[in-house]
Structure 1
Amino acid sequence: MDALKQKLVAQAQAEGFDLARICRPWDVPQVPDRLETFLREGRHGQMGWLAERSHWRSDPSALWPEARSVIMLGESYTPEHDPLAVLKRPREGAISVYAQNKDYHDLVKKRLKRLARWLIAETSGATEVKVFVDTAPVPEKPLGAAAGLGWQGKHTNLVSRDLGSWFFIGSIFTTLEIDVDAGEVDHCGSCRACLDICPTGAFPAPYQLDARRCISYLTIEHHGPVAPELRALLGNRIYGCDDCLAVCPWNKFAQEAREVRYHARADLLGPPLAELAELDDTSFRAKFSGSPIKRIGIARFLRNVLYAIGNSGDAGLIPAAERHCDAGDPTVADAARWAVQRLKNVENRMDRFQDPA
């Protein structure tokens, strides 16, 4: 099997993956306790599917009992630019690096399927396979750590000594017995950069996440209004948040993404909020065709844009928000009124400063 594994790793790299490691489906003994605590504390927020499918996430071998090995793949999407720079430009929208071009689900899954077909052919059909990328109840990060892709850092994301924090994960479950790799150990040490930079304090403790305060969750998964006390903390982040990933010291070893379709589109590197506020459903779908942003829909996207406008401190954006104050969607209308009031307060303070009489 050593020869097959060597060929498998080489083929994975030929398909575009940067890392390929092997573990067993049952090599994640710490998952049940961590997941139980996460769910018991209600830290999953509105993501009810995490609770509904917790038995599979707790024990990935239950997802497909016939599986004997899991091929864990990592693919870099390291940005060419500083993802935190846009936060200093409050009139522009900050979009998470992974969403600045094509949807990784589609790209990674195609690679996984090609590699899986290669494995079936290489073994003359002597194996069955299933591929997963982020959309099934698979504990990909613990499996990735067990296989040696990296370790779960204090921000709970996987960190690699080779790729830093910027890489996608995919998995192929197979009925083949393939020699496993050693799991990765924790290399975070005393560093807490990812914890300290979080704008909303989403980490109750190292290695613990409360999704209800996570900006990625709030801007993508959470539907309805965001709690008033959290809106100002969103800043100009309109889809996801990269703060905890971007400050990881291990990123100095990261290699730039080979896949050009992960490189940022120019129009998504800080798009003007005023222009985004003008989008309707048709133009939204056209602009974000093939992008993961399209998944959240126009209403949730406008909600995020309007919160960002309210946080911009620029009273010149009041008209961009006012046009949505009577929107048919109550969450959008609420976000617009919040933004207008917040900017008018800024305007009033400026007036008093300029005319103390």
Structure 2
Amino acid sequence: MSLNQQQLKNLATQIKLWGKELGFNQVGICDLNLSAHEDKLTEWLNKGFHGEMEYMAKYGLMRARPAELHPGSIRAISVRMDYLPEHAQFAQTLKQTDKAYVSRYAIGRDYHKVLRNKLKQLGQKIEQQTELNTGFRPFVDSAPIMERPLAEKAGLGWVGKHSLVLDENAGSWFFLGELLINLPLPVDEPVKEQCGSCVACMTLCPTNAIVAPYEVDARKCISYLTIELQGEIPLEFRQLIGNRIYGCDDCQLACPWNRYAQLSQEQDFKQRHGLLSQDLLTLWHWDEKTFLDNTQGSPIRRIGYQRWQRNLAIGLGNADFSPAILNALQAKLTESSELVKNHINWAIEQQTMKQIHAQSSQSKQVKRLVRVIEKGLPRDA
């Protein structure tokens, strides 16, 4: 059994309605030809901008050839799901140096599981309603596939200068997913890019990781440094990381289009364990069991306890001086791994320098006060 053009057109319309019913905020359809992106991908890899993400180089151009991942596929159903939480407290958390900043996509349940499950349901729905073996396969940021070019091609938005997909009505606070399928569904039209001359994301990136429009050197990106990097975080980036202990949202915060971002309606993306604005010291005192318990079902768990401690040590080093922070850092020196110990020693050095500076400033203030008092006293006093 095969479907004629009108039936395929009707099915495409129905698929978008089913997607909305499952909680997707937008659904688009495109073909799988990404050959226009192959040279750019090769150039990016040759520059080493992928850092330690060897899986990027391992699969090479397969990322631009989705049909190789699921033979027989001829279309991608691309979906968007918003994740912006209520009361996101972006600036408030970043300004409070004793608070931990977690990228807002990671404060709830692991999006890989949420979107993949819904995409699977969408594929099953298509098979049930058409009585066809559609041969679908869902993807959510977990296989060598270029999600953003597919989303762009499917009309979900345009790729901005920070390399994220932007929608004029929803900004960029959303996840992407794809369902590869073997039905010749009608495709959607891409939308026009609307970044214009704006370079806010490039200018405000804390580490200057956006080295050119649409080109990110992952080795400088705070998201890469706190999540993907396995070993020591280079010294030149530690102070720039501030209190960002898992990921970074600055390029999105800088983007004017995000004034139109939509709040997420997905319950699974609501915050867990107060991660919107948790104290650094509270998280520092988690032992490994507590970390594993509290990050069950969370994307944060993938970095493991050692890198979690590494990132927290940097956050504590960048916090304003506090005797409690200094004591907490020193207390963990003997029990920590070499990786964590290296970052604790750096953090202790930073806190000690701030303590000396604070004492020096206090001493200067006292001396100024004494001089003021002495000037006001009678000569025979």
Q: Normalising TM by the smaller chain, what interval?
A: over 0.9
- Which residue number in structure 1 is paired with residue 371 of structure 2? none
2:64 to 58, 63, 85: 58
Deviation sequence 1:302-325 (CA, Å, 0-9, x none): 000000000002232101211222
Which of 1 and 2 has greater Rg? 2
- Which residue number in structure 1 is paired with residue 334 of structure 2? 326
State the alpha-carbon separation in 2 of the partners of residues 245 and 163 from structure 1. Answer: 12
- Which residue number in structure 1 is paired with residue 259 of structure 2? 252
Counterpart contact for 1:31–1:57, Cα < 8 Å: no
State the alpha-carbon separation in 2 of the partners of residues 122 and 42 from structure 1. Answer: 46
Equivalent residue letter for 1:184? V
Secondary structure of the residue that 2:168 maps to in structure 1? Answer: coil
State the alpha-carbon separation in 1 of the partners of residues 128 and 171 from structure 2. Answer: 33
| Residues 214-225 of structure 1 mapped to structure 2, 5 A cutoff | 214-225=221-232
Deviation sequence 1:81-135 (CA, Å, 0-9, x none): 2423210000010000011111111111110010010011122024111110000
Counterpart contact for 2:29–2:186, Cα < 8 Å: yes
TM-score (norm 1): 0.97
Counterpart contact for 2:103–2:246, Cα < 8 Å: yes
State the alpha-carbon separation in 2 of the partners of residues 238 and 112 from structure 1. Answer: 30
Matched, 1:22 2:29: yes
State the alpha-carbon separation in 2 of the partners of residues 235 and 257 from structure 1. Answer: 27
1:100 to 72, 95, 107: 107
Counterpart contact for 1:84–1:242, Cα < 8 Å: no
Report sequence identity in percent.
36
Corresponding pairs, count = 356
| Residues 62-211 of structure 1 mapped to structure 2, 5 A cutoff | 62-80=68-86, 81-211=88-218
Counterpart contact for 2:62–2:145, Cα < 8 Å: yes
State the alpha-carbon separation in 2 of the partners of residues 145 and 88 from structure 1. Answer: 34
| Residues 32-43 of structure 1 mapped to structure 2, 5 A cutoff | 32-43=38-49
Q: Where do 5+ consecutive residues of structure 2 fail to align?
A: 1-7, 368-381
Secondary structure of the residue that 1:255 maps to in structure 2? Answer: coil
Deviation sequence 1:313-344 (CA, Å, 0-9, x none): 22321012112222341110001111001100
2:353 to 341, 345, 354: 345
State the alpha-carbon separation in 2 of the partners of residues 264 and 29 from structure 1. Answer: 39
State the alpha-carbon separation in 1 of the partners of residues 47 and 32 from structure 2. Answer: 27
Further displaced range: 29-38 or 44-53: 29-38
- Structure 1 position 266, deviation (Å): 5.8
- Which residue number in structure 1 is paired with residue 288 of structure 2? 281
- Which residue number in structure 2 is paired with residue 300 of structure 1? 307
State the alpha-carbon separation in 2 of the partners of residues 313 and 255 from structure 1. Answer: 34
Tell me the C-alpha RMSD between the 2 structures: 1.3
TM-score (norm 2): 0.91
Equivalent residue letter for 2:355? E
Further displaced range: 307-316 or 213-222: 307-316
Q: Where do 5+ consecutive residues of structure 1 fail to align?
A: none
